[in-house]
């Protein structure tokens, strides 16, 4: 995971060195935050349920990791919203559809509260609501994404714009279906028996009194590392693809006189 994250950081550095003037400044900030946090979390691995950590150090504290994850997750949805907002300005749609990227941002923002709720109280309900809001954030984008997919047939849409639109659509459909038909009913529902710990006790544990372990079974076996590893691979590659291909959004080709 560390090697993957290091390659992702290098890829972002190369992209920014070559095309930073052609990429929206917010997109630059978002991608830097996301891959930076992914790099940190690939070293200091943690699990919020059970407060497991890889290293016995405050730098691996689940609470600190959760704080960093908040910035990364808002950056993740921020890139989606930014690209869709720019497309909406160029190719207007109905009022509600034009608002859905902002609703996606709102859902992820509210999900952060329940993520901290789940962590600081070790509340299974908090974790489930967080995941449900994540699913809703991208499912609500699907009607707009379907309309945007029609753009790829238009002759004035650049190759890079088409790739960005397809990447966004692939995530919305793929992640939405995963959460709806597998994640929420079969994985995250397993948080229900956790109950709720007193917030003071759980918060103290999350910050200082976590459980360092490298026992594979304790972490949840291969499932945990596949799920966790996707954060540092698939999610990072997706954002790099989108940001790389949105560099054409800010500087469209100049029109030639006839």
pLDDT of residue 193: 59
Question: How far is 92 from 199, CA to CA, in rounded Å?
Answer: 46
> Which candidate, 15, 134, 14, 129, places its Cα nearest to that of 73?
134
- Position 169 in a domain: yes
In a domain? residue 255: no
Q: How many CA atoms are closer than 13 Å to the CA of 56, on its beta-carbon side?
A: 4
Specify the pLDDT at position 37: 95
Q: Is residue 149 part of a domain?
A: yes
Residue 250 pLDDT? 45
User: Cα separation of 241 and 186, whole Å?
Assistant: 30
User: Would you state the pLDDT for residue 256?
Assistant: 47
pLDDT in tens, 182-208: 888 876 666 765 655 565 666 676 677
Asked if the structure places residue 13 within a domain, the reply is: yes
* β 211-212/52-53 pair status: parallel
- Cα gap 161→178, rounded to integer Å: 26
Question: Residue 196 has what pLDDT?
Answer: 59
Q: Please give the chain's pLDDT, 258 residues, in tens.
A: 788 889 889 999 998 898 888 888 999 999 999 999 999 999 999 988 888 999 999 999 999 999 999 999 999 999 999 999 999 999 999 999 999 999 999 999 999 999 998 888 888 899 999 999 999 999 999 999 999 999 998 888 888 889 999 999 999 999 999 999 988 887 666 676 565 556 566 667 667 778 899 988 888 888 787 878 887 889 999 999 999 998 754 444 444 444
Asked whether residue 257 is assigned to any structural domain, the reply reads: no
Assign 3-state DSSP to the chain and report helix, strand, coil percentages, each to 5: 80, 0, 20
Closest alpha carbon to 167 in 109, 59, 252, 242: 242
Q: Is residue 138 included in any domain, yes or no?
A: yes
Question: For the chain, what is the domain count?
Answer: 1
Residue 144, pLDDT score: 97
For the sheet with 46-47, list strands across it.
46-47, 52-53, 211-212
The reported pTM is 0.88
The residue among 226, 246, 255 whose CA lies nearest residue 27 is 246
- The whole domain housing 132 covers 2-250
Domain containing residue 94: CATH number: 1.20.1070
pLDDT at 130: 95
- 23 part of a folded domain: yes
Other Cβ atoms closer than 10 A to 232: 24
């Amino acid at each position: 995971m560390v090697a993957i994250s290091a390659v992702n950081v290098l890829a972002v550095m190369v992209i920014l060195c070559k095309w930073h003037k052609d990429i929206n400044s917010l997109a630059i900030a978002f991608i830097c935050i996301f891959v930076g946090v992914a790099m940190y979390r690939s070293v200091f691995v943690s699990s919020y349920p059970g407060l497991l950590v890889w290293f016995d150090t405050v730098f691996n504290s689940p609470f600190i990791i959760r704080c960093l994850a908040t910035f990364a997750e808002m950056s993740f949805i921020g890139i989606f919203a930014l690209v869709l907002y720019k497309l909406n300005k160029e190719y207007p749609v109905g009022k509600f559809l034009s608002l859905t990227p902002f609703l996606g941002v709102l859902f992820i923002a509210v999900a952060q509260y329940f993520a901290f709720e789940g962590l600081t109280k070790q509340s299974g309900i908090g974790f489930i609501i967080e995941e449900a809001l994540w699913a809703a954030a991208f499912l609500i984008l699907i009607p707009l994404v379907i309309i945007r997919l029609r753009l790829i047939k238009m002759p004035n849409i650049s190759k890079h714009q088409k790739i960005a639109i397809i990447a966004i659509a692939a995530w919305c459909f793929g992640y939405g279906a995963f959460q709806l038909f597998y994640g929420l009913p079969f994985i995250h529902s397993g948080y229900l028996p956790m109950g709720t710990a007193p917030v003071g006790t759980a918060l103290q544990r999350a910050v200082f009194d976590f459980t360092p372990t490298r026992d594979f079974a304790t972490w949840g076996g291969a499932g945990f590392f596949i799920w966790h590893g996707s954060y540092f691979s698939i999610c990072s590659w997706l954002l790099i693809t989108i940001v790389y291909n949105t560099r054409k959004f800010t500087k469209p080709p100049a029109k030639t006189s006839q």
